[in-house]
Amino acid sequence: MIEPFDAVDLIKAKRDGDTLSTPQLDWLVDAYTRGVVGDEQMAAWAMAVYLRGMESREIRDLTLAMIASGERMNYRGLSKPTVDKHSTGGVGDKITLPLAPLVAVFGVAVPQLSGRGLGHTGGTLDKLESIPGWRAALTNEEFHAQLESVGAVIAAAGSGLAPADRKLYALRDTTGTVECIPLIASSIMSKKIAEGTASLVLDVKFGSGAFLPDPEMGRRLAETMVQLGKDAGVATVALQTNMQTPLGHAIGNGNEVRESVEVLAGGGPADVVELTLALAREMLDLAGKPDADPAAALADGRAMDVWRRMIVAQDGDPDAPLPQAPESETVVAERAGVLVAQPALPYGIAAWRLGAGRARKEDPVSHSAGIDLHVKIGETVEQGQPLFTMRTEDPARFGRAREALDGAWTIADPGTPVQDGGPLVRDVIR
């Protein structure tokens, strides 16, 4: 087969700031998927994009080409409207767990294909696998049946969805081209559009623990993804949310499940509840249920009922005890005052080093390792009061976790400005 384009020409074109045509981008993605374009060539092209950027039409073409590289799911025959949610990830971000069953209460199907954690950001599947018996891998038939009967599914994505993105994502991770809005936007949206949902709510985070700490970069990413969704016929809204400090009190796997169940029981940390409800309202609005009251469904137990059915449907035991780490170490306040700084990133790194995360995709995770915060930013503390507890299966891990947390909190006199990054929801992009 004679190839219509040459990879070197496309690399040079992007290196020199030129735009690529739709046929060129279609060919590049297809040829990379087939192995005609090598990793070293795609790495050079990705770096050129990182340095030179892409026009909106190019980003759209790249996204559509990655969707076309694999299968596209559909929910024809489903009796309910579909809406999905995607978060760009952070520290203590367990929102998917209470959110999916909460939205499903109102006769809306939530087909949530989730991933595993890498580095300091946790993975939804890792958290749910803390529940004895629960399984992430479902057949398409099981997936559809559970959507119809329960309304909420959180499962692993199959290898057939956007395989070009899977290759390119792994390459970006090893070539310094991760923090690139055209490549991030096309990666996320190619998978989400291929999942076949009719509508989508994006949770795009900024702050210390976020993928893109700078709020303006986060906003540009949100705007780009919302437009990509609309161009593909998927009703899309983005919330720009604050990840300057950890979300909730639990950072890890099993402990985040515990905290999610507390939210489903009508309790839980105020910030987790606030964000869960904010996202639920946007999802329900897109699904044609603007008058639904998600706060009532948390309070009266309906969301918990759906959670239990969702876990049982995937062979999990919602009543089984969650794993407990055998080793713990608590850090206390050295002085009295107000906790005025609690940047998220060090806590995410520390939880990872305690065993809750992984450095490589193939690494195992500990479902009992993590950190439980006893004090949140803005709260008053007394000298000797516990600030947080680290938990692990291997006490040798405490040393490096402590190193990550050096300087990760500040206690000051009352009246000192609090470095919390502002409101939890900064903006909504429609």
How confident is the model at residue 155, as a pLDDT? 96
Res 174: pLDDT: 83
Residues 6+ apart with CB under 8 A from 382: 333, 336
Q: Which of 69, 58, 83 is nearest to 31 (CA)?
A: 69
Instruction: Check whether residue 302 and residue 351 sit in a common domain.
Output: no
Q: What is the pLDDT of residue 104?
A: 98
Task: Compute the average pLDDT of residues 61-88.
Answer: 94
Residue 17 forms part of a structural domain = yes
6-35 per-position pLDDT tens digit: 999 999 999 999 999 999 999 999 999 999
Among the ranges given (1-5, 15-19, 126-130, 303-307), the one the predictor scored with the smallest mean pLDDT: 1-5
User: What's the CA gap between 178 and 43, in Å, rounded?
Assistant: 11
Q: Is 52 a catalytic residue?
A: no
Region 347-370 average pLDDT: 90
Helices 96-104 + 270-286 axis angle, to 10 = 40
Task: Encode pLDDT of 124-148 as tens digits.
Answer: 999 999 999 999 999 999 999 999 9
Tell me: do 165 and 295 sit in the same domain. yes
Instruction: Report the CATH number at residue 291.
Output: 3.40.1030.10
Among the options 26, 93, 165, 271, which is catalytic?
Answer: 165
What pLDDT is stored for residue 238 in this prediction? Answer: 98
16-22, long-range: CB within 8 Å, 24+ apart, which pairs?
16/52, 17/52, 19/54, 19/55, 19/57, 19/58, 20/58, 20/61, 22/57, 22/61
Residues shown for the chain: 430
Tokens at 236, concatenated: 């899309």
pLDDT of residue 211: 87
Statement to judge: residues 41 and 92 lie in one domain: no
Q: Which tokens belong to 363?
A: 């690494």
- Catalytic: which of 172, 192, 249, 302? 172
Q: Are 234 and 211 in contact (CB under 8 A)?
A: no
Residues 226 and 293 in one domain: yes
Which one from 191, 219, 391, 397 is the annotated catalytic residue? 191
Q: Is 191 a catalytic residue?
A: yes
| Partners of residue 251 on adjacent β-strands | 371
In a domain, 75, yes or no: no
Tell me whether residue 328 is one of the annotated catalytic residues: no
Average pLDDT over residues 215-244: 97
pLDDT at 331 (0 to 100): 98
Domain encompassing residue 126 = 83-319
Asked if 16 and 93 sit in the same domain, the reply is no
Q: How many CA atoms lie within 13 A of 295 on its CB side?
A: 6
User: What residue spans of 287-387 are helical by DSSP H?
Assistant: 294-299, 302-313, 344-351
Using pLDDT thresholds of 50, 70 and 90, give the confidence band for residue 119.
low
Assigned domain for 88 exists: yes
Region 341-365 average pLDDT: 90
Q: Say which residue the tokens 């964000």 belong to.
A: 275
% of residues, the chain, pLDDT over 70: 99
Q: What pLDDT band is residue 118 in, cutting at 50, 70 and 90?
A: low
Q: What is the CATH number of the domain that holds 332?
A: 3.90.1170.30
Percent of the chain with pLDDT over 90: 90
Q: Does 375 lie in the same domain as 314?
A: no
Residues 250 and 180 in one domain: yes
Mean pLDDT of 172-185: 90
How many degrees, rounded to 5, is the angle at CA 136 between CA 130 and CA 137?
Answer: 150
What pLDDT, on a 0 to 100 scale, did the predictor assign at position 157? Answer: 85
Q: Tell me what the mean pLDDT of segment 236-261 comes to.
A: 98
Mean pLDDT is lowest, of 75-79, 92-96, 414-418, for: 75-79
69, 186, 187, 366: the active-site residue? 187
CA distance 223 to 238: 8
Of 301, 319, 337, the domain-final residue: 319
Rg of the chain's alpha carbons, rounded to an integer? Answer: 22
CB 347 within 8 A of CB 252: no
The answer to whether residues 211 and 189 belong to one domain is yes
Average pLDDT, the chain: 95
Determine how β-strand 152-156 pairs with β-strand 110-114: parallel
| 112: pLDDT strictly greater than 80 | yes
pLDDT at 361 > cutoff 80: no
Q: Identify whether 426 is part of a domain.
A: no
Q: What is the arithmetic mean of pLDDT over 45-62?
A: 97
**Complete edge-to-edge strand list for the sheet that includes strand 410-412:** 380-381, 337-341, 410-412
Number of domains the chain contains: 3
Interatomic CA distance for residues 346 and 404, integer angstroms: 5
Same domain assignment for residues 173 and 297: yes
Q: Are residues 118 and 246 in the same domain?
A: yes
Residues 220, 277: one domain? yes
188 within domain boundaries: yes
Query: Cβ atoms within 10 A of the Cβ of 55, count?
Result: 11
pLDDT of the residue at 293: 98
Which helix (H) or strand (E) segment holds residue 156: the answer is strand 152-156
Under 8 Å CB-to-CB from 347, ≥6 apart: which residues? Answer: 91, 92, 209, 246, 251, 371, 373, 388, 405, 408
**Catalytic member of 14, 60, 86, 302:** 86
Do 158 and 265 have their domain in common?
A: yes
CATH number at residue 16: 1.20.970.10
Res 108: pLDDT: 98
Write out pLDDT tens, residues 272-295: 999 999 999 999 999 999 999 999
Of 280, 260, 278, 279, give the one whose Cα is nearest residue 269. 260
